[in-house]
Amino acid sequence: MQGLSREAVRRVYRFYAPVYDFVFGLLLDSGRAALARAIDPAAQRVLEVGVGTGLALKRYPAQAQVVGVDLSEEMLLRALPRARRLRGARAVDLVCADAEHLPFPDASFDAITLPYVLSVTPNPQALLRELRRVCRPGGQILILNHFKGAGIWQGLERMLSGAAARVGFNSCLSLESLQSERWTLLELRTVNLLNLSKLAVIKNDAH
């Protein structure tokens, strides 16, 4: 993605880490709640890509083993206390990794969540391919993200379109990026204040 590199993402989220919960916690929480409710309650292995400060961890199925990955070490340091508090109730592991090159074998997870991450990766299509690879056939992929053309947000999208490297995300990601993969889109609905984001619930078809 032009203007957005891994180093730019690391740099921006190094800055965001101390204030992320205050700025984006409550604002985006209804989307995280909707994402967690959509997870198959029978899922045994859940991967959260872009776990950030761990705001969604407490919402996952109690019996699930959860792995959270993030590119930013500073964000993971903020997630660590949350993960430790949950370990009495569920297994939680945190991994610093590039989501476009996940360090897991094929078909490792029953469900994968992607909260607000598709816009902050340099190559969204590479990330989507990795999600399919590490999700078992028939498993769930749940993508929570802002997509361009969302009502009153169009003006802001245009203002931010050339500032991806400075703000740490691409404001003009299209829904077509989801439809290009070989999977089944089961549900697509708007979430968050003033329909800021969409939640896509996807079935991972056999490769």
Global pTM? Answer: 0.85
Residue in 97, 116, 127, 99 with CA at minimum distance from that of residue 171: 116
Task: Please check the confidence at residue 131 and state whether its pLDDT lies above 70.
Answer: yes
**Per-residue burial over 100-133, b = 16 or more CB atoms within 10 Å of its CB, e = otherwise:** bebebeebbbbbbbbbbbbbbbbebeebbebbbe
Residue 172 pLDDT greater than 60, yes or no? no
Contacts of 84 by beta carbon, 8 Å cutoff, 6+ apart: none
Reduce the DSSP state of residue 157 to 3 states and report it: helix
| Greatest alpha-carbon span in the chain | 46
159 has pLDDT over 60? no
Banded pLDDT at 68 (limits 50, 70, 90) = very high
What pLDDT digit, counting tens, does each position of 190-200 carry?
887 666 788 99
Residue 89 reports pLDDT greater than 90: no
Is residue 187 classed exposed, middle or buried when 0-12, 13-18 and 19+ CB atoms within 10 A define those classes?
exposed
Domain ranges of the chain: 6-203
Strands, DSSP E only, in 17-168?
A: 45-49, 65-70, 92-96, 109-115, 135-145
Domain 6-203 in CATH 3.40.50.150: yes
